[in-house]
Chain A
Amino acid sequence: MDTIYIIITGSLVAISCGLLGCYLILRKMAMVGDAISHAVLPGIVIAFLLSGSRDSAFMLLGAGILGIFTTFLIEFFHTKGNLQTDASIGVTFTWLFALGVILISVFAGEVDLDQDCVLYGEIAYVPIDLWILDDGTIMGPRVLYIMGVVFCVILAFIMLAYKELYITTFDPSFAVAMGVSTTLWHYMLMGAVSLTTVASFESVGAILVVAFLIAPPATAYLLTEDFKKMLWITAFIGVLTAIGGYYLAVWLDGSIAGAMSVVAGLLFALAFLFSPQDGIITKKFKQMKPPVLETDQSIAEMIS
């Protein structure tokens, strides 16, 4: 049963992150996702200190605010300070992440988080951390419920706002002409990324959220050119990653989140080498075969 809980939680994290990641990598904002996943840390710690518990809306709110704040700060330094984007991202998130780690060290006694958890989460503890009602009924792992809710929110967000997200991603100037605000959807997406990051944080940790945000979408991107298919493939790869990662970690007796990102990397490597259209080896193979020229055939048809 524990195995199933862990795998389901992992899959929910992987799908939620992966779906949003599809938009991030197509908008060339992969590193903004990386930045947000680091920068929400102080928000989490502060919310924790104020509310004194882990499972509060407070925490989501704190981190959500920090996520939006990070996006804003990156833009601000870039446009007002004329700082190049990559440096603006780098400076902003390292600073906020450092602040978060310091807060954790300073309030070590009061905050039930430690530095290791920040980096690679505690997905192994998911089955232990149960949600128990006042009358003593055991409802199952608490994190599973949180991830379930977040998963539904993300899914609803993408389904309801599919059209808006789609055109602001692929053709921002057309979107503006149609009266769809690119800024609004930019911040909505960033808000969704922050929310997912925070919720995934306990299970996979700050930095490994990035693996789930980027690796499955990048793999799917190599396998298809159709955006809807890309979303489906991402979700499928996410689940595969969660299952594979869990068993790899059990086999090697190591961090589950670490193992999951290794599996995500391996799947990417496979797609990179063997993808039907873009794989390195597939392309080599195609070059070796004598080329079947369509023009030849059509000429042959014309003659006959």
Chain B
Amino acid sequence: MDNFVTFFSFQDPNIRYVVFGSVLLASSAAIVGTFIFLKKKALVGDAVAHSVLPGICVAFLIAETKNPFILVLGAFVSGWISLVLLDYIVAKSKIKEDTAIGLILSVFFGLGILMLTIIQHSGMAGQSGLDSFLFGKAAALVGNDLVVFSSISILIMAVVFILFKELRLIAFDTNFAVAIGFPVRSIELVLTTLTVLAVVVGIQAVGVVLMAAMLITPAAAARFWTDKLPVMLLLAAIFGAISGVFGAYISYVAPAMPTGPWIVMVISFIAISSFFFAPTKGIVIKSLLQRRFRMKILEENILKIFFRIGEENKDFKKHIQAKELQKYKHFSEGDLKRGLRRLRRQGFIEKTGSLYQQTIAGNNKGKRVVKLHRLWEVYLMQYLRIAPDHVHEDAESIEHIITPEIEKELEEKLNFPQHDPHQSQIPYQ
């Protein structure tokens, strides 16, 4: 708890630097990631992230120091090579993109691991800590490193800000961009460069193995909250930042813990909660709405049958067995029971013994559905010239969707027809 207070009071300048750095890294990765996400290239980010490892090792072997400039340069070069190779393999052979991604990812990573172990076994001076690139170490963000990585992050954000319009266009509609004569190739090149840069700085915090999550997960989470790109970018950046602060905190209180996995856990928690609970797009709210709609259809279908039975017997007060409903339309046992129970609760039908009877409210509601069904059949026949024996199925589904406004328009357009194509009377109020 003391740790918590010390950390979040930000008294210690070191803590301030680390937090500042982590937030910048995580947000810049999230911002670039949003564009990759929208271009449906999320896993390419994964390939780049794994592919920077050999570059880091080569840079270290050549320079024999852990100078951040040189390591970043090495990482940048091998990240770039991996992407060029990826495109080349997909373009020049029958290998599909996903296979190529997996291939590049695993071979480059294997090469990186091979070099890393060679460096470790050779006992070169200053090599210890090179393996923190695997899972990241946010607390190492001090001094020189902080300056380098923060500048790159700020550069990334600046480029995205300046080229916002262009990036937005290629994220959504590349063909259109080509058609209006946009320099699509160069902008894609910029995006690729930004991706590699974001990966290169992001691995400081989370390491190469989990870097993909820093690119994709914040964007995936943000996508569930909004349809507007600027808002999405902002949200992704904020989600990234939250996880960055948390990563710095973990690094501070438990230096032995790998930082990367904790950051990824936080951002994944945000994302998975968003998948389930986001308003309007969340899985929970969507399935609730779906269920409500299914229930509405079920209820309307049952009431419709009550009305038709009444119509046939010329007696809307008739008592009906639940089984009789099945003759008109198939319901599963459970559905029928549930529907009848719900209708009773809402006062649309009444039950005496095992017999059901529609109320006046129920009769009106059933009547409206039947009317809509028959009106739609007339409409299909008159306006779309569909044969009378083909119109029923379509009407069966549209009858639950038609709003009062469309209902009015239909009535006026068709001039209140008396009969449907099957010569059944259309019941008006």
Report yes or no: B95 in contact with A218, Cβ–Cβ below 8 A: yes
Report yes or no: A252 in contact with B118, Cβ–Cβ below 8 A: yes
Contact partner of B43 among A86, A95, A260, A262, CB < 8 A? A86
Report yes or no: A264 in contact with B107, Cβ–Cβ below 8 A: yes
Assess whether A150 is interfacial by the CB under 8 Å rule: no
Assess whether B18 is interfacial by the CB under 8 Å rule: no
Report yes or no: A211 in contact with B106, Cβ–Cβ below 8 A: yes
Interface residues of B (CB under 8 A from A): 37, 40-43, 45-46, 50, 89, 92-96, 98-103, 105-118, 121-122, 131, 134-135, 209-210, 212-213, 216-217, 219-220, 223-224, 256-258, 260-262, 264-265, 268, 271-272, 275, 281-283, 286-287
Interface size on A, residues (CB 8 A): 58
Report yes or no: B220 in contact with A207, Cβ–Cβ below 8 A: no
For A80, list chain B residues within 8 Å (CB): 283, 286-287
For A213, list chain B residues within 8 Å (CB): 102
For A258, list chain B residues within 8 Å (CB): 110-117
Report yes or no: A262 in contact with B111, Cβ–Cβ below 8 A: yes
Assess whether A280 is interfacial by the CB under 8 Å rule: yes
Bound CA–CA A177/B84 (angstroms) = 42
Show 16 A/B contacts (Cβ-Cβ < 8 Å), sorted by A: A31-B101, A77-B275, A81-B224, A81-B275, A84-B37, A84-B40, A89-B42, A90-B46, A90-B217, A94-B210, A99-B261, A105-B258, A210-B106, A213-B102, A248-B114, A272-B92
Report yes or no: A254 in contact with B118, Cβ–Cβ below 8 A: yes
Q: Which of A204-230 contact B (CB under 8 A)?
A: 207-208, 210-211, 213-215, 218, 221-222
Report yes or no: A86 in contact with B283, Cβ–Cβ below 8 A: no
> Which of B113, B272, B281 counts the most A-chain CB atoms under 10 A from its CB?
B113
Report yes or no: A207 in contact with B43, Cβ–Cβ below 8 A: no
Assess whether A75 is interfacial by the CB under 8 Å rule: no
The SS class assigned to the A binding surface is helix
For B219, list chain A residues within 8 Å (CB): 87
Report yes or no: B110 in contact with A257, Cβ–Cβ below 8 A: yes
Report yes or no: A268 in contact with B212, Cβ–Cβ below 8 A: no
List 6 other contacts, CB 8 Å, given A84-B42, A94-B216, A264-B106. A25-B98, A97-B264, A101-B135, A102-B265, A215-B103, A253-B118
For A99, list chain B residues within 8 Å (CB): 261, 265
Assess whether A43 is interfacial by the CB under 8 Å rule: no
Assess whether A59 is interfacial by the CB under 8 Å rule: no
**Contact A90-B42, Cβ < 8 Å, known A214-B102, A254-B114, A262-B114:** yes
Report yes or no: B209 in contact with A119, Cβ–Cβ below 8 A: yes
Task: Specify the chain A residue showing the minimal Cβ separation from B269.
Answer: A95
Bound CA–CA A251/B265 (angstroms) = 39
Report yes or no: A252 in contact with B50, Cβ–Cβ below 8 A: no
Bound CA–CA A272/B100 (angstroms) = 12
The SS class assigned to the B binding surface is helix
Report yes or no: B98 in contact with A29, Cβ–Cβ below 8 A: yes
For B210, list chain A residues within 8 Å (CB): 94, 97-98
For A117, list chain B residues within 8 Å (CB): none
Bound CA–CA A236/B112 (angstroms) = 25
Across the A-B interface, the 9 shortest Cβ-Cβ residue pairs: A261-B110, A265-B107, A258-B114, A258-B113, A94-B213, A211-B106, A95-B268, A98-B261, A98-B264
For A268, list chain B residues within 8 Å (CB): 103, 107
Contact partner of A90 among B89, B106, B212, B224, CB < 8 A? B212
Task: Specify the chain B residue showing the minimal Cβ separation from A116.
Answer: B131
Assess whether A238 is interfacial by the CB under 8 Å rule: no
For B121, list chain A residues within 8 Å (CB): 253-254
Task: Specify the chain A residue showing the minimal Cβ separation from B44.
Answer: A86
Bound CA–CA A33/B102 (angstroms) = 9
**Contact A280-B287, Cβ < 8 Å, known A28-B98, A86-B40:** no
Task: Specify the chain A residue showing the minimal Cβ separation from B262.
Answer: A102
Report yes or no: B106 in contact with A30, Cβ–Cβ below 8 A: no
Q: How far is the CB of B130 from chain A (nearest CB, A)?
A: 13
Bound CA–CA A16/B98 (angstroms) = 20
Bound CA–CA A102/B207 (angstroms) = 14
Contact partner of B258 among A89, A101, A210, A278, CB < 8 A? A101
Task: Specify the chain A residue showing the minimal Cβ separation from B112.
Answer: A258
**Contact A222-B94, Cβ < 8 Å, known A34-B102, A94-B212, A119-B209:** yes
For A261, list chain B residues within 8 Å (CB): 106-107, 109-111, 113
Bound CA–CA A222/B271 (angstroms) = 39
**Contact A120-B107, Cβ < 8 Å, known A28-B96, A102-B262, A218-B99:** no
Report yes or no: A89 in contact with B43, Cβ–Cβ below 8 A: yes
> Which of B114, B275, B282 counts the most A-chain CB atoms under 10 A from its CB?
B114
**Contact A91-B107, Cβ < 8 Å, known A31-B98, A105-B256:** no
Contact partner of B114 among A29, A30, A221, A252, CB < 8 A? A252
Bound CA–CA A191/B116 (angstroms) = 33
Report yes or no: B37 in contact with A214, Cβ–Cβ below 8 A: no
**Contact A91-B283, Cβ < 8 Å, known A210-B105, A214-B103, A265-B110:** no
Report yes or no: A254 in contact with B264, Cβ–Cβ below 8 A: no
Assess whether A182 is interfacial by the CB under 8 Å rule: no
For A210, list chain B residues within 8 Å (CB): 102, 105-106
Report yes or no: B118 in contact with A30, Cβ–Cβ below 8 A: no
Q: Which of A113-129 contact B (CB under 8 A)?
A: 115-116, 119-120
Bound CA–CA A262/B109 (angstroms) = 9
